[in-house]
Structure 1
Amino acid sequence: MSVAGIGEFGLIDRVTARLTHGAAVLLGPGDDAAVLAAPDARVAASTDVLVEGRHFRRDWSSARDVGHRAAAANLADIAAMGATPTALLVALCMPADLDPAWAEELADGLAAEAGTVGASVAGGDMSASPTLTIAVTALGDLGGLAPVLRSGARPGDVVAVAGRSGYAAAGYTVLSRGFRTPKLLVEAYRRPEVPYAAGPHAARLGATAMIDVSDGLLADLGHVARASGVGIDVRRDAFEVPRQMRDAAQALGVDPYAWILGGGDDHALAATFPPAVALPAPWREVGRVADGAGVTVDGEPYAGPAGWDHFR
């Protein structure tokens, strides 16, 4: 069976039948547009795209895994604004010979990841394409709070991270070398564990700037430094190297800090806070904001890759 065999609307029916909707979705799939509640009168919105061969491989990840990753990449952006995710809109472009079960399992992964924060898959679109592509738009509720921008960091602020760093990048390297273990790292690449609640919590704590770490910690902190007109220094010793990562790095001949400092896809949150703020778990201090420009590590320029660039 293929998606060409059941047709566009047959596949839509099969996928939407698997979806449930939260309270924010007043009207779900089936009409020209979804209708969502927006009690704050403002909506945080973000879009991300995953392309097969560029962002995922079907021999590395199940359809459900890809669904989790696609949802996480977008939901994390909403959390990084200090907002609570409410809904996803998903566009799926696929080859005509794709097994419909793959699309259904993708929908299951998307819905399951969204469900961890009480969000729903509210609608989307489908089209034929020679390249399997998933485009997701996430929407969120600011809950009366001001959005936390990249441009608010000030000299003297503390730099903190919530979530894991380097695990997914290590998992990617392991998979690219033809291995499937350590499981901790491989699963981190397949399904990131995102501290979604830490984003709105940071906003309530008074975070001055925040960003989702998708391309690499140093690269993404570089966006904060540039937007805020400041320098940021990161302490290498603020990051623990877990045993599995240390062992994999030794076996593969990789510096584990290249994963921790330059690897993305864990979708940790990085934020800056006034120094008087007592940071609760899962936030941990990893550096400081200072006068200047750019990002340094232990006071020195970092020689390795700072993160991912789609066009390099």
Structure 2
Amino acid sequence: MMAAGLPGWDHDVSATCAQVGEHALIRWIASAVGSASSADVLLGIGDDAAVVVPRRNHVDVLTTDVQVDGVHFTRAFCGAADVGHRALHVNLSDVAAMGAQPRVALLSLGLPADLEARWVADLVTGLVTAARAARVQLVGGNISRAPMLFVDVTVSGAAKPRHLLRRSGARPGDELYVSGTVGAAAAGLAWLQSAIGRAGSPSRPSPQGAETDAAEPGDGRFGERALPSAIEAALTRYRRPEARVSLGLQVGRNKAASACIDTSDGLADALRQLAGASGVGVRVDAAAVPVDPAVTELALRTNEDRDALAWSGGEDYELLFAVPRRARRRFLHASGRKGLPPVTRIGMCTREADCLIVQADGRESPLPGGFEHFSSVDSVAGGRIPEAGA
């Protein structure tokens, strides 16, 4: 049976990567990307390497991140297009945290021989769609047979040197702001894990297409027909995060922040990383932290730890800023533009090296940790999927 609904894809829906072959996959990817002209790209897919035109008076900002099946995602929870979207946006978030404009991307795929080739095509479609929305051009990459599925993306961005944001610029007295809400992605993941635990592992879906290959909590397999809106939104935040590129650009161009980092491994981890790089301490007002409504909803319905999800839950890809008091108005003006996520003041940087949470009654406690690969204790709150097979 031929697969339908994917332009240019003329392989059987059940064909594996081994049956379709590397060269056929590469040809289809090249056709899916197309040859749209760009002032940034002199030569894209089709040669030994891409050729990118440097921007005058700008520096290149480079980042790479890998998404590994069973560690960063599982096919039981995410569709193929979700994985492609995620793989790009985790990199866009790093570029955003530097105050840079993303320009081009490279894609490398490690594919098991028995993986459905159509699943790969849907993954690429998700990534290319996300790239076009972000005005990023996919200019090349690599495909390899591998014992497990992984998706490795590299993104290059550009920024004027004076507009770059770093982790290391915060000073005592600077105020701390975070964009959006925290804990949403971890709550979405925890809900999926809890729901599958209640309903039993869903069967592997047929390879009809990535948009339907992930288990949905409202599809009957989890025993629920409808979900609270906060949980639905959290599932989207987990499956398809949105990097805060425009916010990072605005703050960088206005030189309104002394330091910035994204919250890929949780708010607490971001605070510790920024403090360590800048040589300062932090005091965070617990009551001020914008905890996502899904965190509270989940804690009411399950045994999940609200504080762990809020402080240590990763993969929100929000931005944490340190802002000098003299730049506060400039920062709020830059971050308050239409279409940007809200920012919330949550604390300040201190001369003392301690990283503390301050409760409403004045009680102080150390910041918890965030997700860390190879740590002795795996945690759902870290935003990763320990031993989650698909």
Verify the 8 A CA contact 2:163 2:253 in the aligned structure 1: no
- Residue pair 1:75, 1:114 contacting (<8 A) in 2 also: no
The Cα shift of 1:198 comes to 0.8
Using a 3 Å threshold, how does the CA distance of structure 1 residues 270 and 240 change in structure 2: closer, same or farther? Answer: closer
2:291 and 2:158 mapped to 1: Cα distance?
35
1:6 and 2:20 aligned: yes
Q: Is 2:370 aligned against 1:307?
A: yes
Structure 1 length as normaliser, TM-score? 0.94
Mapped partners of 2:280, 2:92: distance in 1 = 27
Whether 1:194 aligns to 2:222 is: no
Post-superposition CA distance 1:184-214 (Å, at most 9, x none):
1111110112221111111123211111110
2: CA distance between counterparts of 1:274 and 1:310? 33
Partner SS state of residue 173, structure 2 = coil
Contact map agreement 2:180 2:290 (CA 8 A) in 1: no
Larger displacement relative to structure 2 (183-192 or 251-260) = 251-260
TM-score computed with the length of structure 2 as normaliser: 0.76
- Consecutive unaligned residues of structure 1, counting only runs of 5 or more, are none
Opposite residue 240 of structure 2, the aligned amino acid is R
261, 264, 268: which one aligns with 1:218: 268
1:94 alignment partner in structure 2: 111
My pick for the range that moved more, 236-245 or 251-260, is: 236-245
Percent identity of equivalent pairs:
38
After superposition, residues 1-312 of structure 1 pair within 5 angstroms as 1-20=15-34, 21=36, 22-39=38-55, 40-143=57-160, 145-178=162-195, 180=217, 181=227, 182-206=231-255, 207-276=257-326, 277-278=328-329, 279=332, 280-281=335-336, 282-298=342-358, 300-302=364-366, 305-312=368-375
CA distance in 2, matches of 1:228, 1:140: 24
Partners in 2 of 1:204 and 1:81 — Cα distance? 11
Q: Deviations over 1:264-307 (max 9, x none)?
A: 1010011111112222333321111111224211172336x421
User: How many residues are paired up?
Assistant: 311
Gaps of 5+ in 2: 1-14, 197-216, 218-226, 337-341, 376-390
SS in 1 for 2:131: helix
Pairwise CA RMSD? 1.7
Equivalent residues of 1:163, 1:195 under 8 A apart = no
CA positional deviation for 1:157:
0.6
Q: CA deviation at 1:116?
A: 2.7
Looking at CA atoms only, which structure, 1 or 2, has the larger radius of gyration?
2
* Mapped contact 1:2–1:97 kept (Cα < 8 A): yes
Flag the 1:205–1:146 CA change in 2: closer, same or farther, 3 A: closer
Q: Which runs of 4+ in 1 moved over 6 A?
A: none
Report the more deviating stretch, 186-195 or 273-282: 273-282
